[in-house]
Amino acid sequence: MNFLTLFNALPGACAQGLIWGIMAIGVYITYKILDLADLTVDGTMCTGGAVCIIFMLNGHSVGVSLFAAFIAGMIAGLVTGIFHTAMGIPAILAGILTQLGLYSINLRIMGGKANQAISVDKYDLLVSLRYVKGVAFYKNTIFVTALIIVILIGVLYWFFGTEIGCSIRATGSNQNMSRAQGINTDFTKILGLMISNGIVAFASGLYAQYQGFADVNAGRGAIVIGLAAVIIGEVVFGKISQNFGFKLFSVAFGAIIYYLVLQVVLWMGLNSNDLKLLSALVVAVFLAIPYMKGKYFSKPVKRGGAPRA
């Protein structure tokens, strides 16, 4: 095992982790804030990339293309929200239905092709695998994605402090109490799903640029990676990330840790075909850690003293 090979691969793993960290922030909104199990992200993780690449291939700027990807993701979240709130379909099933339908839509977006490539030499991409090393810092993929995460977290921190943002958080905490306070929980659920999937699709647009192509199977298993980042961030940084903004940063760091671990495991000789299995095991382990700590390692609470005579 050559440590130089691992060292050279770490910047790429860090860049991927940052991009997936943006996606994981979208997952955090539904999974932790809204308390919904949304599987739409497996579809929108492809939709955003497909829309972004097709827009750029048709001559639009990278900014316009990423914005279009964001809007496409919001529309997907809107569909899931309508399935769930207006039709009474459970959230997890509503997400599966939307994800299933998006497969055909994604193929249509890409002109019936399973993938669409874009050349970094012909198009001015915001991020790219080629920009990880050997470029000016302001063009470096790690710097650009880190800056995007800082801006995104700043915007989300402000938004969830507004009245409508607090309504979304209240809906996730206690729906019945939220309704009693006059909050339209159906609207807040739909809005939360739209914001979440919009962020996921935006991350997908960045990831498609990073890879140099959009693929119809790009989002398969994306929810597992997003959950892994959320859970790892919560387990590793849970003690210090009590502030809402720090919690969002911990999610991004969780994605970086996840990809660094994957890179180390691949370097140690794991077959790349086993990565999905490894991802599932990582999520299972980190989900189990809080439970195991609470059951086996927490100190028993002492009851009151001896009863009075």
Quick one: average pLDDT of 144-155? 95
Which residue is it, tokens 């195991």? 292
pLDDT at residue number 249: 92
CATH match for 3-293 among 1.10.3470, 1.10.1740, 3.40.1350, 2.60.40: 1.10.3470
The model scores a pTM over 0.85: yes
Task: Give long-range contacts, CB 8 A cutoff, 24+ apart: 126-135.
Answer: 126/62, 126/66, 126/206, 126/209, 127/15, 127/19, 127/206, 127/209, 127/210, 128/209, 128/210, 128/212, 129/12, 129/15, 129/210, 129/211, 129/212, 132/11, 132/12, 132/15, 133/11
Write out pLDDT tens, residues 56-111: 999 999 999 999 999 999 999 999 999 999 999 999 999 999 999 999 999 999 98
Selected residue with higher pLDDT from 77 and 273: 77
Residue 280 has pLDDT above 90, yes or no: no
Residue 156 has pLDDT above 90, yes or no: yes
Domain edges within the chain: 3-293
% of the chain with per-residue pLDDT over 90: 53
pLDDT at residue number 238: 74
